[in-house]
Amino acid sequence: MKEKGKIYFSACGLGLGHVSRCLEVFRKLKSRGEIEVFFSSYLDALPLLEAEGLRFTEAPSFSYWTWPDGAVDPWRTLKWLSGRLLFRFMKQVCFEVRQLASFKPDLVVSDTRLSTVIASRIIGRPVLTILNQLRVISPGLIHYPKLFRISDFFSHGFIEPGWGISDRIVIPDFPPPYTVSGENLKVSPALKRKIRYVGTILPVKPESLPSQAELKAEFGFNPEEPLVYAAVSGPAYERWWLGVKLYRAFSNPPEGFQVALSLGRRLEGARREKGKIKVYSWLPDRFKMLKACDLVVGRSGHGTVTQALAYGKPMVLIPTQEQTEQIFNARTALRLGVAKALDPRYLSRETLQPLISEVLQNREYRRRAEKIMEEAGKLPGVEAIVEEILSLL
């Protein structure tokens, strides 16, 4: 590594998962030596970058039409993107080229931003891509076979070759047969030599924390009773909808378990208690809660599922309607026997609490999740990404 390497991080700004991964890589790199970094992102990622006190720029955003519950509206999205998609993408590429030319990095790290990968090649900079979707199926098209096939053709014909121009591709997921994003990672032979599965990115390892009973007591829960950790995640508008629905689902005292509900509102630090339920606006020690709990309830985003499995926790998943990645992740979790799934349209106390009780009472869910945890513990995670970055500097 050079005396002071310059690294340009570019993260997808939909939700906090992508930028959180980049921040963890940045922190680990910083502990290895002096580096200068600059971030590019948009939407939900910007407040987090600002809170970290890092230099960043707001890139042109890309999103899709959704309903208040986060469900994608494919028809309005297609109508809105019609005639705009190529122009919008080229606008992103031109923006990234200008930023890269100004910052002059030694290396570019792109987390799920194809425009940055292409811009890096235009100005001749090496690029490492962090990715858990090579095959990108447009949200909202999973129930429309003809549109699904068109989207799949576009993905294989254009998007996947685009990722392929990266120097390296690291996948923060478990190797087969436990790959959570397996449906979106059908790798062509040409790409296999560039790809490395590194396991989930964990800022805190489970073995570094106190025992489960100690952590339950630390949070004020009964160590002898099962604890459910309900984690709200996703874009801001979707977090509000899911938070309200989960709060109502747990409004009456749950039978046989306790609940910690995190609403994912970073700028609010309030906590409320109602019987066996504690509601947090934000959980800064969420990995402590992840070890303290016996089951996780939440969306089936990649980070949520892989981190829960890395801690050996079974799940009740509520995939966002029409969001193909989450639907595929939930299907994989069901196939692995570590989760039950619930359609968000039918989320209520009457539908959610029986599923939670079923998973808690059936030890097989916990046993399978703990088996995957054992395999996850053997993977290098963020250390492997840092090694790959240092080898390219």
Q: At which residue do the structure tokens 């801690």 appear?
A: 311
Q: Which of 110-114, 159-163, 225-229 has the lowest mean pLDDT?
A: 159-163
Answer yes or no: is pLDDT of 141 > 60: no
Phi-psi region of 275 (alpha: psi -120 to 50; beta: other; left: phi over 0): left
Burial of residue 183 (number of CB atoms within 10 Å: 0-12, 13-18, 19+): middle
Nearest to 154 by CA among 98, 126, 114: 114
pLDDT at residue 317 in the model:
98
Task: Collapse the DSSP code of 73 into the 3-class scheme (helix H, G, I; strand E, B; otherwise coil) and give the result.
Answer: coil
Please, which contacts does 212-216 make with residues 24 or more away whose CB atoms are closer than 8 Å?
A: 212/291, 212/292, 215/288, 215/289, 215/291, 215/292, 216/292
pLDDT at residue 20 in the model:
94
Query: Beta-carbon neighbour count of residue 217 at 10 Å?
Result: 14
pLDDT band for position 235 (cuts 50, 70, 90): confident
Supply the mean pLDDT for the chain. Answer: 89
What gap in Å lies between CA 340 and CA 385, rounded to an integer?
A: 32
pLDDT at residue 275 in the model:
76
pLDDT at residue 319 in the model:
94
- Looking at the chain, the whole-number percentage of residues with pLDDT higher than 70 is 86
pLDDT at residue 167 in the model:
96
- Looking at the chain, the whole-number percentage of residues with pLDDT higher than 90 is 68
Q: Is the peptide bond before 177 cis (omega within 30 degrees of 0)?
A: yes
Answer yes or no: is pLDDT of 239 > 90: no
Task: Collapse the DSSP code of 172 into the 3-class scheme (helix H, G, I; strand E, B; otherwise coil) and give the result.
Answer: coil
Q: Judge whether 139 and 323 are in contact, CB under 8 Å.
A: yes
Q: Judge whether 263 and 232 are in contact, CB under 8 Å.
A: yes
Q: Are residues 286 and 215 in the same domain?
A: yes
In tens, the pLDDT along 11-57 reads 999 888 899 999 999 999 999 888 999 999 999 899 999 999 999 99
pLDDT band for position 144 (cuts 50, 70, 90): low
Query: Beta-carbon neighbour count of residue 8 at 10 Å?
Result: 26
Q: Are residues 223 and 143 in the same domain?
A: no
How far CA 367 is from CA of 9, 338, 356, in Å, comes to 38, 8, 16
Q: Are residues 279 and 222 in the same domain?
A: yes
Query: Beta-carbon neighbour count of residue 335 at 10 Å?
Result: 11
Stretch 57-70: mean pLDDT, rounded?
A: 77
pLDDT at residue 175 in the model:
94
Q: Judge whether 16 and 233 are in contact, CB under 8 Å.
A: yes
Q: Are residues 365 and 221 in the same domain?
A: yes
Return the higher-pLDDT residue of 185 and 11.
Answer: 11
Stretch 360-372: mean pLDDT, rounded?
A: 97
pLDDT band for position 293 (cuts 50, 70, 90): very high
Stretch 219-233: mean pLDDT, rounded?
A: 95
Q: Are residues 156 and 238 in the same domain?
A: no
What gap in Å lies between CA 150 and CA 117, rounded to an integer?
A: 24
Stretch 104-110: mean pLDDT, rounded?
A: 97
Answer yes or no: is pLDDT of 151 > 70: no
Domain count along the chain: 2
Q: Are residues 145 and 234 in the same domain?
A: no
Tokens of 207: 């073995």
pLDDT at residue 123 in the model:
96
Q: Residue 252 is part of which domain span?
A: 206-376
pLDDT at residue 279 in the model:
92
Answer yes or no: is pLDDT of 358 > 60: yes
DSSP 282: -
* Torsion angle (degrees, nearest 10) of CA 90, 95, 101, 107: -80
Q: Are residues 115 and 224 in the same domain?
A: no
Q: Judge whether 300 and 334 are in contact, CB under 8 Å.
A: no
pLDDT at residue 73 in the model:
67
**Residue 216 sits in a domain of what CATH number?**
3.40.50.2000
Q: Are residues 216 and 281 in the same domain?
A: yes
Q: Which of 68-77, 81-90, 160-169, 238-247 has the lowest mean pLDDT?
A: 68-77
- Give Cα 311 distance to the centre of its chain: 16
Stretch 69-96: mean pLDDT, rounded?
A: 74
Q: Judge whether 309 and 339 are in contact, CB under 8 Å.
A: no
Q: Are residues 192 and 221 in the same domain?
A: no
Nearest to 37 by CA among 19, 60, 16: 19
Q: Are residues 353 and 384 in the same domain?
A: no
Query: What secondary structure, in 3-state letters, does 209-268 show?
Result: CCCHHHHHHHCCCCCCCCEEEEECCCCHHHHHHHHHHHHHHCCCCCCCCEEEEECCCCCC
Q: Are residues 304 and 211 in the same domain?
A: yes
Tokens of 189: 């032979």
Alpha-carbon Rg of the chain, whole angstroms? 21
Bridge partners (DSSP) listed for residue 9: 39, 109
Q: Are residues 119 and 263 in the same domain?
A: no
Q: Judge whether 115 and 159 are in contact, CB under 8 Å.
A: no
Tokens of 250: 């747990």
